Structure 1
Amino acid sequence: MEVLSKIGLDDHYENKLTLSTVLEIDRNDISGKKTEMESLPGAFLKKLMMANANARSVCLASSDADNSSSDAGSDSYNAINPLDLTTAVFLCSDALLQQALVQKMSLCQFAIPFLLPDHETREITMMLWSMRGIVRKFSPSYHAFTKSFVEERLVLSQVPLVSFVRQGKSNFSKSLILNKLLSNPKQHHDTFCHRNMTCCDIPRRISDGLVEIAWYLPCGNRNVDRFTDPVAVANLRGDIRVFDKQFSFLCQTSAAVYIFCDDTQNIKMLEGIDMKAEVFLVTTSSQGKFFTLKKMATKPSLKTTTVSQKKRSEEDLVKVLQTSVATMLETCPSKISVENMAKSARRSGILVDEDGEECQSARKNAGKITRTITTVAEFKSKQLLSQGSVWKGLSWLEKESYRLRKAGRQNVEHYRSYLKTQEKELRRKQERLGKSPPMADFLHGVVTSEAQRSHFLRWLEMDLENLSRQDLSGLRDQYTDLRRKSPQAKERIAEIDMNISDCCLGLEHFFRECGQLYKYTSYLPEYSQQRKVMEHLPAHCAQMLLDGFPVELFDGDASNIPMKWITDVLAELHDVMHSKSNVKVVTILGAENVGKSTLLNTMFGLRFSVGGGRCTRGAYLQLIGVGEDVRNELGCDCLMVIDTEGLKPHQMNQDDDSHERDKDVATLAVGLSDVVIVNISEDSAAEIKDVLEIVVQAFVRMHDTGKIRPVCHFVHTHKSDVPTRERKERETQLSAQLEQMIATASGAERKHKITKISDVIEYDPDANNWCGNTDTQTTWLHLHFTG
């Protein structure tokens, strides 16, 4: 296609872009320069993956501006409409990348491709798979009294669909009207690209026929909500007389269809359409001086009834449309999920992206596992056999063999021998427990082809989230509320925390089981069939890292690193990368719920788990490639980013063991890292002090290892804007606090040579303090490496 060739994507129409290639760090990421036309897709993708709300405003390099002396028509030809750019990127992305893009577009409150046209093949595809990852919280009217929220996967939500289409030309922007219709009084969002936006007056080429979808989700505040119930809104780009297949589909699935047209337009085409929706005509005068909203009866014959009198401004039109949609929602019996719309799409001759053999086979394999789950806690105890008390016992024995805290007056070697005997007994017990049928199904899904493995893991991940969401959502709300209001209620907080752990079931639990199975099968004879099945598992896990999946480094439940498993996975990664695996490590530390995972996702475009309460347990790593053009400059072939669980303030630790665990997590992070990001919330001085003490002690512990001092960045997150003067004062106070804590920590660790912060951390108070707003997530760090 001409547009794909123009922006340098023609090679990727067949050989699709992948998530790993998009996340790769290149020259543009470091220079921050404007991009040339052929780099527009890359610039757009990078901004989008970082959830940058200005992603659609990527600009051309100055060289293009210098060469813009041609006539206006030529300039218009050489530019590209943001909708064309979006369509081109989706046509050239694989399924996993499309799903990641949609999740980021949803976070930016952009409308999402729903029916994607391909003008090369003349096919239309419904993007059901790509939308499956979107999960949102909202407060519908039936929950307004209790002010509670519903958390749902949006493709499964039963909500009315309201569609907006155009026949002929219109004197005003339909998309601009929609943005005003959906925006709250206190906050405006450009959900749909419109004429008044930069570059959006450029003619569209490949995005004509695109249907976008967005959701309006009420927050439960009547003073803010435009509508008290959730509603999905579809917007067809182009004339319905040209794109009759898309229009027919919308008429079958929508509760209401609003047709924008001139008052002289012929609407006879509606007679032959299977119309299940209410139809409204928004007509304008030929001079565009006024409009009228009319309701149309399509059966037994075309008749219209005026709903509103003639109005003269777009603001008037928005108010009339709001009233019309709100009235429809109050009595609307026609609710449908996006998943169920797929049936109508297939009947209409529209393809569905998840109907491919790989996706459906992966879904079937994931379903074999989830169908066996009645309650999460029971499944974990009966099917993940190597975990639970056995794995925790092994973890304790491993740590005790180094720390010898229970040795007392025993001979050290005798005590270690006793611990080794205990470990062998537990390993034999693991071997007797064996492998459950769900784990056999999981291993089968992991060792299949690369494309099917990615689909399988995403299906299983989403299905597991759906199973545990209802219980977890309430528990996390309780945990957060109690932690904020009554941090002294340690026992109750610990109880809820344990309940959260019991209700959690994710991919990490299955891979923990893999690590244990791999460990004990490595002791079996080489000819053992069970060993042969397991020995290739680290290679598949290494490929997962390259594909963009997170891998658990530190088990958050057993407080242990499965060393053999992780070591062999990283060794396989080294082989897969043909020894080009020089790694720099970036790790984040901080208290619970300060947005550590969100910050990493925003900075690097990653997909660490984000949610309320104590969501991240343990530590997880993701891999980002580094382009060959900047490897020498950065001194590495890839970047390893580690997300860690939240450190608890001292008053919330129930016992010394939990406090020791926090120190272990911090020490692990510091010991592995070239760069450490410490994310601190400015809302609680006591919490800052507690967290900083843990972090500083970790730096002190690592002083004698011979490791080069890691660079340390402090991110100060605020719930509201803080004046510059006050921010500077806080940063000065932080430096003084760190110096005091260094003296205390060095004394506790008996390292009296350490007297100042620079002895253990490379830290410049003027360059390594960053301020971010939790509402806007604007923080961006310019990381640098040493060594």
Structure 2
Amino acid sequence: MKKLTLDEFYTKKISTNYVLMITGCDEYPKSLEEISQHFLRNIMRANPEARNTENGECRMEDADPGDDDLINPLDMITAVFLCADSFLQQVLMQKMSQCQFALPLLLPDSGKGNITFMLWAMRQIVKNWKLQKNASSMEESLVSIQMPFISFIRVGVCSVSKSKLLNSILSNEKHDFFVHREMECGDIPRKCSDGLVEMAMFCPCGKSNIDVFETQFSILNLRGDARDHLVQLEFLKANSNAMFILIDREIDAEEMPILCDSKARLFIIQNQNINNRSSNTNVITDTLSQLKIKPTLIEKGRHNDAAFTKKLRSYITTFLQSTENHETLEGMVHVAGSLNIRIDECERKCSESKDKVNSIMDIIEKSRVKESKQRYLPLQGDMWHKWAETNKEQSREVRAKFGGDPRVFVLTVLGVQSTGKSTLLNTMFGLQFTVSSGRCTRGAFMQLMSIDDELKQELECDFILVIDTEGLKAPELATHHDSYEHDNELATTSGKNQSAYLCIRILAMSLLLTKT
């Protein structure tokens, strides 16, 4: 924490507003202390290079940094999540999901000696997939998706990078879902992330030339030696449909009982010296037989990486075709609780918020929206109008006394529906405007962003107000006789904001924004 200057946030958590503040920053962090801030700024903008932990001192041609001058990306991610409040954790999860990064499912906290099941943090993630070419897309909240879970663990030290192997299994595009030892700083010894369990979901697109698997499923990856993290291992044994175990050396018979009482189908991957392989295989087979465990043994042998990846894909495909038992993340709560794993969603603030939301939704479902607003939100009617008039008069007095209003730069995006307007703003500013297929933005939504004091003079404004608007030419409104008036009113409202210091309208063509 101290190396990343995050120690002050270990108890006083980082908020979303703190991260959204617009500040000046260099392309790369100048020192180790700036790495966490660069990660936060870059991941909020869905930058795929956000996990790079090299700093300016390491990029010098004659630099020869030691381990104390560098940090493993997994340590950085673990430290940031431990120092973020629950709302920022949700945002970080969404951004990491957009970058197709593996997500922290079980978060270890070595300082407090506990493990957290990150269910609440994943609540806002929505995944979509298509099983067949001509089938309609399916969309659901990640925590509610029923699917097989396949876990990967290692016993002892392995010469093969488990995480790199997983990346090659999941995609032909050489995308790094999981951080591995051959990435920048991936070989730096880990300090706080051993015991982390990460999750990566495979979502088919329905195209046989792209999909390496035909159905949706998730991979769970335990960091570190499984023998050192028995609680996480028990969690995986109880919730996995299949478990792949990497073994790279001779193991003692006394170590095998840790695999007992697993409901998962076991696959043991061996990558050993040819001379020792036969004897160790016999030891493993005999020991597991005595324990009444019947795993499938997979030997890497003389296969190169590409051939071995193809071999493992075949095993996984066969398993997915034969299994009918699907799990959900929500369904794993009872197992986590039985293992004394902390569940973020069971914290007081989260549970109270959920109860309040559910009570409000029950009220809305039992009565009309208009009636509910008049009854439960009376301040949004005439009283709100009167308050606004009073506030205007008070604002005039404040301007006269202090010499003017704060300077606000208003940025409005306007364009055809489903052309990526909300996504563009989210990527540019790290915001959370709703995005999905079809008509997801209705009306106009805004986010006020503060600016660092050092940049206010340079940018000549004190705040930036970002406005996301409903798309024009919505197919749902095409049959309405006043659809053109609706679009004109929306464009006029977006373009004329008299209280703004400056208003920019972006009227982007569909083709241009579709490419972005």
Is this a same-fold pair by TM over 0.5?
yes
Question: What SS class does the counterpart of residue 319 from structure 2 fall into?
Answer: helix
Question: What SS class does the counterpart of residue 55 from structure 1 fall into?
Answer: coil
Question: What SS class does the counterpart of residue 236 from structure 1 fall into?
Answer: strand
Counterpart of 2:185 in structure 1 is: 199
**Residue identity matched to 1:282:** I
- Structure with greater helix share of residues: 1
**Residue identity matched to 1:244:** L
* 1:501-540 equivalence runs, <5 A: 514=377, 517-521=379-383
Moved more, 305-314 or 610-619: 305-314
Counterpart of 1:179 in structure 2 is: 167
* 1:696-715 equivalence runs, <5 A: none
Counterpart of 1:11 in structure 2 is: 8
Residue among 145, 149, 154 paired with 1:157:
145
Asked whether 1:54 is paired with 2:49, we answer yes
Uncovered stretches (5+) of structure 2, i.e. residues with no partner:
none
Distance in 2 (CA, whole Å) between partners of 1:267 and 1:670 is 74
Counterpart of 1:228 in structure 2 is: 214
Counterpart of 1:501 in structure 2 is: none
Counterpart of 2:458 in structure 1 is: 633
| 1:289-334 per-position Cα deviation (integer Å, ceiling 9, x unaligned) | 9999999967743455545673421222211211111111112133
| 1:547-603 per-position Cα deviation (integer Å, ceiling 9, x unaligned) | xxxxxxxxxxxxxxxx769979999xx9xxxx9843211111111111111100000
Distance in 2 (CA, whole Å) between partners of 1:226 and 1:48 is 27
Question: What SS class does the counterpart of residue 57 from structure 1 fall into?
Answer: coil
Question: What SS class does the counterpart of residue 303 from structure 2 fall into?
Answer: coil
Superposed displacement of residue 636, structure 1: 2.1
Asked whether 1:676 is paired with 2:509, we answer no
Distance in 2 (CA, whole Å) between partners of 1:306 and 1:612 is 43
* 1:303-322 equivalence runs, <5 A: 306=297, 310-322=301-313
Superposed displacement of residue 234, structure 1: 0.5
* 1:460-539 equivalence runs, <5 A: 514=377, 517-521=379-383
| 1:615-639 per-position Cα deviation (integer Å, ceiling 9, x unaligned) | 2121111011111121111122221
* 1:220-369 equivalence runs, <5 A: 220-266=206-252, 268-272=254-258, 273-286=260-273, 300-302=291-293, 306=297, 310-369=301-360
Q: 1:679 to 1:114 in 2, by over 3 A?
A: farther
* 1:595-634 equivalence runs, <5 A: 595-634=420-459
Distance in 2 (CA, whole Å) between partners of 1:200 and 1:176 is 11
Q: 1:306 to 1:98 in 2, by over 3 A?
A: closer
Asked whether 1:89 is paired with 2:75, we answer no
Question: What SS class does the counterpart of residue 609 from structure 1 fall into?
Answer: coil
**Residue identity matched to 1:681:** M
Q: 1:649 to 1:345 in 2, by over 3 A?
A: closer
| 1:19-48 per-position Cα deviation (integer Å, ceiling 9, x unaligned) | 0000101121xx546443211111111110
Contact 1:25/1:624 (8 A) holds in 2 = yes
| 1:638-663 per-position Cα deviation (integer Å, ceiling 9, x unaligned) | 2110011122299x855674323322
Q: 1:10 to 1:657 in 2, by over 3 A?
A: same
**Residue identity matched to 2:94:** Q
| 1:42-73 per-position Cα deviation (integer Å, ceiling 9, x unaligned) | 11111101111111125412x5555975xx5x
Contact 1:679/1:717 (8 A) holds in 2 = no
Counterpart of 2:135 in structure 1 is: 147
Distance in 2 (CA, whole Å) between partners of 1:75 and 1:122 is 28
Superposed displacement of residue 382, structure 1: 1.9
Contact 2:248/2:272 (8 A) holds in 1 = yes
Moved more, 323-332 or 105-114: 323-332
Contact 2:268/2:296 (8 A) holds in 1 = no
Counterpart of 1:188 in structure 2 is: 174
Uncovered stretches (5+) of structure 1, i.e. residues with no partner:
388-433, 440-513, 525-534, 536-562, 684-715, 719-772, 775-787
Moved more, 124-133 or 322-331: 322-331
Q: 1:679 to 1:328 in 2, by over 3 A?
A: farther
* 1:665-744 equivalence runs, <5 A: 665-672=490-497, 674-681=502-509, 683=511, 716-717=512-513
Residue among 386, 410, 416 paired with 1:585:
410
Contact 1:248/1:274 (8 A) holds in 2 = no
Question: What SS class does the counterpart of residue 207 from structure 1 fall into?
Answer: coil
**Residue identity matched to 1:25:** I
**Residue identity matched to 2:78:** T
**Residue identity matched to 1:128:** L
Comparing both chains, which one has the higher relative contact order based on Cα–Cα distances under 8 Å and sequence gaps of 6 or more?
Answer: 2
Superposed displacement of residue 241, structure 1: 1.0
Question: What SS class does the counterpart of residue 586 from structure 1 fall into?
Answer: strand
Superposed displacement of residue 199, structure 1: 1.6
Q: 1:228 to 1:373 in 2, by over 3 A?
A: farther
Contact 1:271/1:302 (8 A) holds in 2 = no
Question: What SS class does the counterpart of residue 513 from structure 2 fall into?
Answer: strand
Larger Rg: 1
Q: 1:164 to 1:306 in 2, by over 3 A?
A: closer
Counterpart of 1:392 in structure 2 is: none
Question: What SS class does the counterpart of residue 279 from structure 1 fall into?
Answer: strand
* 1:91-130 equivalence runs, <5 A: 91-130=82-121
**Residue identity matched to 1:362:** S
Distance in 1 (CA, whole Å) between partners of 2:488 and 2:164 is 52
Question: What SS class does the counterpart of residue 487 from structure 2 fall into?
Answer: helix
Contact 1:137/1:149 (8 A) holds in 2 = yes
**Residue identity matched to 1:351:** R
Residue among 24, 30, 39 paired with 2:34:
39
Distance in 2 (CA, whole Å) between partners of 1:23 and 1:235 is 31
| 1:191-219 per-position Cα deviation (integer Å, ceiling 9, x unaligned) | 00112212211111111111100101111
**Residue identity matched to 2:142:** L
Question: What SS class does the counterpart of residue 335 from structure 1 fall into?
Answer: coil
Contact 2:133/2:207 (8 A) holds in 1 = no
Distance in 2 (CA, whole Å) between partners of 1:243 and 1:332 is 27
| 1:475-510 per-position Cα deviation (integer Å, ceiling 9, x unaligned) | xxxxxxxxxxxxxxxxxxxxxxxxxxxxxxxxxxxx
Distance in 2 (CA, whole Å) between partners of 1:363 and 1:386 is 19
Contact 1:210/1:237 (8 A) holds in 2 = yes
Counterpart of 1:721 in structure 2 is: none
Q: 1:67 to 1:629 in 2, by over 3 A?
A: farther
Contact 2:412/2:467 (8 A) holds in 1 = yes
* 1:639-650 equivalence runs, <5 A: 639-648=464-473
Distance in 2 (CA, whole Å) between partners of 1:682 and 1:362 is 39
Contact 1:580/1:637 (8 A) holds in 2 = no
Distance in 2 (CA, whole Å) between partners of 1:259 and 1:569 is 68
Superposed displacement of residue 124, structure 1: 0.7
Identity of aligned residues (%): 36
Superposed displacement of residue 667, structure 1: 2.1
Q: 1:519 to 1:82 in 2, by over 3 A?
A: same
| 1:387-414 per-position Cα deviation (integer Å, ceiling 9, x unaligned) | 7xxxxxxxxxxxxxxxxxxxxxxxxxxx
